[in-house]
Amino acid sequence: MRVHSLNCGTMASAGAGEPPAVCHCLLIETDADGLVLVDTGLGTVNLKDPAGSLGEDFLGWARPVLRSEETAVHQVEQLGFAASDVRHVVVTHLHRDHCGGLPDFPDASVHLHAAEHEAALPGEGIYLNAAYAHGPKWVTYAGLAGDEWMGFAGVRALDGLPPEILMVPLLGHTPGHVGVAVQSEDGWLLHAGDAYFHRNELHDAGEWPEGLDQLQARAETDRTQRLANRDRLREAVRRPDGPVVFSAHDPVEFAGRP
């Protein structure tokens, strides 16, 4: 399957020397199930009403550029498709910078972990529901039932999608945070969402901006789970058959994608 990496939201740099952060989304061309979008980044609802849909706090620290050219729907159309060709969206979680594009694909089925659905639906606290007030066709997956895959437990295929797309529970950043594995023409990819923020977190050598640890600590809902899942990711990238792993916001990982 052909997999496109899209930046659906440039935001403030994570620290000195770091390029601006991205919202790394995947657009997958399946053989029989239309287009599948993994995360949506920021969408037209955010451009129309930045403060109402993202909150003044988020605008202050994330400083998203909010360009219509960066929305997933615009990029889907630039690739020669229609928005309605996107039949499925898989969201790693429902933080504002991951689901802002949902209203641009109102007919798509939106797959996510049940714990995330439950946490986010009231639209309170860190969750703002402007991106899902239209009532998406939610498809939820509860618990940790599933198979072992590359050292991860509870991995499963998704309803109506081919077995080359898998939901990989990476809980901890939020109650129902997941990664999404995709078997591309060049091998397995793993979109790890916000399970970590900086590429160096997966490698023995190298450091990362201190501010990112503080940002993670402010956001995380289960530190023990989050750090255990980051350890699994560190192990996965060392496997000879391991996936290419990237996170949602690291601009260098994004730049390395074809």
Neighbour tally for 159: CB within 10 Å: 11
Residue at token pair 């060049």 = 186
| Least distance CB 248 / Zn ion (angstroms) | 5
Cα-flanking dihedrals φ and ψ of residue 225, to 5°? -65, -45
Whole-number Å distance between alpha carbons of 179 and 167: 6
| Least distance CB 22 / Zn ion (angstroms) | 10
Burial (CB < 10 A; 0-12, 13-18, 19+), residue 207, is: exposed
Strand partners, 157: 166
| Least distance CB 190 / Zn ion (angstroms) | 16
Number of residues assigned to the chain: 258
Closer CB to Zn ion, residue 104 or residue 194? 194
How many whole angstroms from its chain centre is CA 133?
A: 20
If binding means CB under 5 A, how many residues of this protein chain bind Zn ion? Answer: 2
Q: Which of residues 85-124 bind Zn ion (CB under 5 A)?
A: 97
| Least distance CB 25 / Zn ion (angstroms) | 11
Closer CB to Zn ion, residue 41 or residue 136? 41
Mask 208-237, x = binds Zn ion (CB under 5 A)? ------------------------------
Binds Zn ion by CB under 5 A, chosen from 194, 201, 250, 253 = 194
250 in contact with Zn ion (CB under 5 A): no
Site residues, Zn ion (CB under 5 A): 97, 194
